[in-house]
Amino acid sequence: MKRVVITGMGIYSCIGKSLAEARDSLHAGRSGIGIDPARAAHGYRSPLTGIVEPPRLKGILDRRLRVGLAEEGEYAYVATVEAFREAGIDAGYLEENETGILYGNDSSAKAVIEANNVVMEKKDTTLLGSAAIFQSMNSTVTMNLSTIFKLRGINMTISAACASGSHAIGLGYMFIRHGLQNLVLCGGAQETNLYSMGSFDALSTFSTRVDAPTRASRPFDAGRDGLVPSGGAASLVLEEYEHARRRGARVLAEVVGYGFSSNGKQISQPSDEGCEIAMTRALADAGVSAREIDYVNAHATSTPQGDMFEAIALDRVFGESRPLVSSTKSMTGHECWMAGASEVLYSVLMMRDSFVAPNINFEQPDEYSCKLNIATKTVEKKINLLLSNSFGFGGTNSALVIRKIQ
Amino acid sequence: MEREKIESIVKKFLVEEIEVDENTIAPGALLKEDLGIDSLDFVDIVVIVERDFGFKIKAEEMTGVRTLADFCDYIETKTK
């Protein structure tokens, strides 16, 4: 089996539009949550969201390469430019070497709704223009990025709800581990526009703590009242270790374990058993014991049910060693389809700079979270091994184990 | 619509929306070879012409249209 390492990362999120900005926000415990007044006017139950401004790409990217990008694709493009730059991958490399892309995305609501509005008004699909189809499909991110960056390896979108980005990394890891690819661009993207979250808001799962937006996302806190939707994109360059060495690439971390499971239960109901199976499998795949894990980046979204089931599972797996746990969603909100990728990226930044970002707004534990060792403040600490959890609707679970390269 | 007005509108959307290089725009310029307009761009031009000139381009009426002047002739005929 081949070893799989991360050699580049890029981020576009509500806590930073570059690795440096995101790193500083994580270390400072800075929230990126605010209020979108348009959501209230549009009939949302909650106007809270991560505040992410779409990038302006006109003049940067050729029109034909640009117009097919939906909002989440624009985020992913900017994140990928940073990731490839960090990895030392340029156009010449991509031309000469087969590179894959496995990216998490599970909606492109704005493109679909706007196209539908045009057809409703004009009663003529030929007035939609050329870009609607390339923006509307779930694979919009991978179909556009593979074209822009001229990628010729494995090319597909992973749609697995809020675990999409994590599974994308897990699958990229498997492709490289089995010797099928040397380099795969992995990541996750999430649109943040007005249309993107209405149907999720319909479930009344969003926090309505509008008087204090930055305190609204409070994973594991007894007073939590729901999640705060957010988005952007995170890109990670996964690479075969010897290939990275030959290139002289700087290695940020090693992906050593991937675990997955499906609850097989009610569509929106989390499961402690499902979480536990994914984590246990990831640890076994990595060949490490639970007590070796220094830090767990929890999925915890700030919903009463989800956090409770994850806390039960974390206690069952890590109860003896009680590693530091934090949910960076306390700062970012729930980055949904992107979260599994961005949270690995955030965790690798912590690993690189030897700190654990705080689970902000954790003030009062409940009967489950009281059993966890939750980082309420930034902890300066060397991290050798970490585990990142991601869970999604339909009971899809993913856990990744990342090791520091010595 | 006056010819001058048509040419002005066409030039504006070609440069600003289709992002054709302004220096390549000339009456005799070939739409495909000189201006670089491909089949997907043309799908967008159908939308823009409907918006700016109020009629829908029909593919069968465009068979003889090769240059920018041909294209403006076509629009002139349709907007008379």
d(CA A218, CA A87): 34
Report the half-sphere exposure of A384 (CA within 13 A, side-chain side): 8
Q: Which residue has the tokens 């984590």?
A: A279
Question: Residues B21, B34, B38, B44: which is the catalytic one?
Answer: B38
Q: What is the pLDDT of residues A208-242, one digit of tens each?
A: 999 999 999 999 999 999 999 999 999 999 999 99
- Residues linked to residue A1 through DSSP beta bridges, in sequence order: none
A264 by Cβ neighbours in 10 Å (0-12 / 13-18 / 19+) ranks as exposed
Asked if A130 reaches chain B (Cβ–Cβ under 8 Å), the answer is: yes
- Cβ distance A375 to A392 under 8 Å? no
Across the interface, whether the CB atoms of A130 and B50 are under 8 A apart is answered no
A14-43: average pLDDT: 98
Select from B19, B38, B44 the Cβ nearest to the Cβ of A129. Answer: B44
Looking at chain B, which residue has its C-alpha nearest residue A132? B44
**Which positions of A are annotated as active-site residues?**
162, 299, 334
Answer positive or negative: Cα dihedral of A390, A31, A305, A35: negative
- Give the distance from residue A124's alpha carbon to the nearest chain B alpha carbon, in angstroms: 10
Boundaries of every domain in chain A: 4-247, 257-403
- Residues linked to residue A155 through DSSP beta bridges, in sequence order: A101
- Interface mutation target, options B32, B41, B43, chain A, most CBs of A under 10 Å: B43
pTM of the predicted structure, to 2 decimals: 0.97
- 3-state secondary structure labels for all residues of A128-188: CCCHHHHHHCCCHHHHHHHHHCCCCCCEEEECECECHHHHHHHHHHHHHHCCCCCEEEEEE
Q: What is the pLDDT of residues B11-35, one digit of tens each?
A: 999 999 999 999 999 999 999 999 9
- How many interface pairs between A and B have CB atoms less than 8 angstroms apart? 25
pLDDT given for residue A81 in this prediction:
98
Q: What is the pLDDT of residues A352-378, one digit of tens each?
A: 999 999 999 999 999 999 999 999 999
- Give the distance from residue A128's alpha carbon to the nearest chain B alpha carbon, in angstroms: 7
Residue A284, pLDDT above cutoff 80: yes
- B-chain residues near A128 (CB < 8 A): 47
Residue A274, pLDDT above cutoff 90: yes
B69 by Cβ neighbours in 10 Å (0-12 / 13-18 / 19+) ranks as middle
**Of residues A247, A274, A252, A297, the one with CA closest to residue A400:** A297
Asked if A320 reaches chain B (Cβ–Cβ under 8 Å), the answer is: no
Asked if A265 reaches chain B (Cβ–Cβ under 8 Å), the answer is: no
Across the interface, whether the CB atoms of B43 and A129 are under 8 A apart is answered yes
Task: Spell out the domains of chain B, with CATH numbers in brackets.
Answer: 3-78 (1.10.1200.10)
Q: Token digits for A166?
A: 């994590």
Return the CATH class of domain A257-403.
alpha beta
| CA end-to-end distance (rounded Å), chain A | 20
Residue A107, pLDDT above cutoff 90: yes
Return the CATH class of domain A4-247.
alpha beta
Instruction: Supply φ then ψ for residue A123, to 5 degrees.
Output: 55, 40
- B-chain residues near A126 (CB < 8 A): 43, 46, 56
d(CA A197, CA A214): 19
Asked if A406 reaches chain B (Cβ–Cβ under 8 Å), the answer is: no
Using DSSP's 3-state secondary structure scheme, residue A324 falls into strand
Q: What is the pLDDT of residues A139-158, one digit of tens each?
A: 999 999 999 999 999 999 99
d(CA A240, CA A221): 40
Q: What is the interface pTM, i.e. ipTM, of the complex?
A: 0.90
pLDDT given for residue A406 in this prediction:
73
Q: Token digits for A222?
A: 């007894």
- A-chain residues near B38 (CB < 8 A): 64
Rg of chain B, C-alpha, whole Å = 11
Q: Do A4-247 and A257-403 have matching folds?
A: yes
A268 by Cβ neighbours in 10 Å (0-12 / 13-18 / 19+) ranks as middle
pLDDT level of residue B39 (50, 70, 90 thresholds): very high
- A-chain residues near B22 (CB < 8 A): none
Q: Token digits for A374?
A: 């939750």
What does pLDDT average to over chain A? 98
Across the interface, whether the CB atoms of B47 and A131 are under 8 A apart is answered no
Residues 56-75 of A with CB under 8 A from B: 62-64, 67
Tell me whether strands A232-240 and A183-190 are parallel, antiparallel or unpaired.
antiparallel
pLDDT given for residue B27 in this prediction:
96
Across the interface, whether the CB atoms of A131 and B44 are under 8 A apart is answered yes
Asked if A123 reaches chain B (Cβ–Cβ under 8 Å), the answer is: no
d(CA A81, CA A272): 38
Q: Token digits for A340?
A: 């599994």
Tell me whether strands A100-104 and A155-158 are parallel, antiparallel or unpaired.
parallel
Looking at chain A, which residue has its C-alpha nearest residue B58? A126
Looking at chain B, which residue has its C-alpha nearest residue A63? B19
- Give the distance from residue B80's alpha carbon to the nearest chain A alpha carbon, in angstroms: 22
d(CA B8, CA A256): 61
Q: Which residue has the tokens 């989390």?
A: A270
Residue B1, pLDDT above cutoff 90: no
Question: B-side interface with A, Cβ within 8 Å?
Answer: 18-19, 38, 40-41, 43-44, 46-47, 50, 56
**Of residues A10, A62, A12, A389, the one with CA closest to residue A230:** A12
**Of residues A82, A72, A110, the one with CA closest to residue A16:** A82
pLDDT given for residue B37 in this prediction:
96
**Of residues B25, B28, B21, B30, the one with CA closest to residue B10:** B25
